Amino acid sequence: MNKFRYLAALLPLLLAGCLEVEQHPAWIDGKYDGKHDNLPQQANFHNDRLAWYAAINNRNQRQNEYNRTTP
């Protein structure tokens, strides 16, 4: 009777190694089926890269303390 108890206790340990699943997501292998994100100039400025850079430059110039404090 003790043999069956040991076998019953050992069976889950033996089966635990058989249930291993893949640990890495699919995009590790280069298989990505999701939506590709647009670049900011494509989404907001109708793919006009110069308008995008002008908006970024204007924003940076307005944050520059030297430009804001000179009369």
Map residue 20 onto helix, strand or coil: coil
Domain boundaries along the sequence of the chain: 38-71
* Percentage of residues of the chain with pLDDT beyond 90: 14
Mean pLDDT of 2-11: 78
64 vs 59, residue with greater confidence: 59
Residue in this structure with the two tokens 């291993």, named with its chain if needed:
20
Mean pLDDT of 50-66: 90
Please indicate, yes or no, whether the overall pTM of this predicted structure exceeds 0.75.
Answer: no
CA dist 63 → 22, 41, 53, 56, 60 (Å): 49, 21, 15, 11, 5
Which residues, at least 6 apart from 32, have a Cβ–Cβ distance to it below 8 Å? 26
Q: pLDDT of 22-56, one tens digit each?
A: 777 666 666 666 777 888 888 888 889 899 999 99
Instruction: Please state, in angstroms and rounded to a whole number, the distance separating the CA atoms of residues 42 and 56.
Output: 14
